[in-house]
Copies of this chain bind each other. A is one copy, B any other.
Amino acid sequence: MTQPATIRSVGVVGAGLIGISWATIFVLSGRDVSIFDANPDQRKTALDRLQTNIALLRENGLVDEAIALGNAHVCGSLEDAVTGVDYVQESVLETVEVKSAVSQEIDRAIASETLVGSSSSGIPASAFTKDLVNRERFFIVHPVNPPHLIPVVEIVPAPWSEGDHIPTIRKFMSDIGQEPMVVEKEIEGFVLNRLQGALLNEAWALYSEGYASADDIDRTVRAGLGLRWSLMGPFETIDLNAPGGIADYAERLEPMYHSVAVSRRNPQHWPGSAILKAKTELEERFSGQLRTERETRRDEWLLSLKRAKQGQKTG
């Protein structure tokens, strides 16, 4: 097993929203970044979009000095973008076919110590890396969109991934300011979307059974649960919610939560009628607001949380 002592150079394959957001993070951390996208239009606008991301972070006080883009460049071929780099972040279209084809190209071009992370949000690495020569150096490195505003990253090995590379990737992600976590073995939805799915499944069940409006269910999270969870996560939250800590909490409340699980032992699909009703409710709630305005408000909120967390760390 060989691996780079420190990851200094990065190849970004796929220059859509996620790829350029990754490139933003890599550039800001001082890495050499080479970018490729199969679509010439994406290549042409890549550096402009990178600049836009950096400008937004700078306006929000999240980038101190003037950042030069000299260490980022766009390549005319995938091979040029990944040959000789320490790490490749692949963010191409999420289908097994496309991931397979692009991973094969990467596999042929990389050096013997290059590590590869795929931004796949659902397809596990085992579905598209089995026959690669360097398959032990391919991982899922799954961000939340957009990663330059939401720091968590799931690192998920395939069964044949070399586990000794995981600390290297984890440290690299920490070094560049992300918040890596490790999913020890493959599971459908990884950890993040399983947690989101558990909450969503309960939300849809409550909504379709008439317990609350979509807006009121959203309010329960945005003005309640989500406030603590934006700082602490579920285990730390309950550890502070009983005088004797997490075991005391479990002793008091596990029976109720188990009963909630038992009541959902016959999982129903999200009903089509409920989906249509929620769609209508949301359209009314946001009538007169452009989707882009809503996205901007979300991103401004994420930027303010990022600032608040930075203040906390240094404070």
A interface residue numbers (CB < 8 A to B):
122, 144-145, 150-152, 154, 179, 181-185, 187-189, 191-203, 206-207, 210-214, 216-236, 238-241, 245-247, 250, 254, 256-267, 269-270, 275-276, 278-279, 282, 291, 294-295, 297-298, 301-302, 304-305, 308, 312
Contact B305–A230 (Cβ < 8 Å): yes
Minimum CB–CB distance from A178 to chain B (whole Å) comes to 8
Contact A225–B216 (Cβ < 8 Å): no
In the bound complex, CA of A231 to CA of B302 (Å): 9
Contact B225–A192 (Cβ < 8 Å): yes
Main DSSP-derived SS at the A contact region: helix
Minimum CB–CB distance from A240 to chain B (whole Å) comes to 6
Contact A201–B235 (Cβ < 8 Å): no
**Chain multiplicity (copies):** 2
Contact B224–A256 (Cβ < 8 Å): no
**Given A218-B236, A221-B195, A234-B221, are A227 and B150 also a contact pair (CB < 8 Å)?**
yes
**Given A182-B212, A260-B194, A267-B261, are A233 and B246 also a contact pair (CB < 8 Å)?**
no
Contact B275–A250 (Cβ < 8 Å): yes
CB nearest to A233 among chain B residues:
B218
25 contacts between A and B (CB under 8 A): A122-B256, A144-B224, A144-B225, A150-B224, A179-B223, A181-B212, A183-B212, A187-B206, A187-B211, A191-B220, A193-B257, A195-B202, A195-B203, A195-B217, A198-B199, A198-B261, A201-B257, A218-B235, A221-B233, A227-B230, A227-B302, A239-B282, A258-B269, A261-B267, A305-B308
**Chain B residues positioned under 8 Å from A218 (CB to CB):** 232-236
Contact A151–B223 (Cβ < 8 Å): yes
**Given A250-B270, A302-B227, A304-B308, are A185 and B198 also a contact pair (CB < 8 Å)?**
no
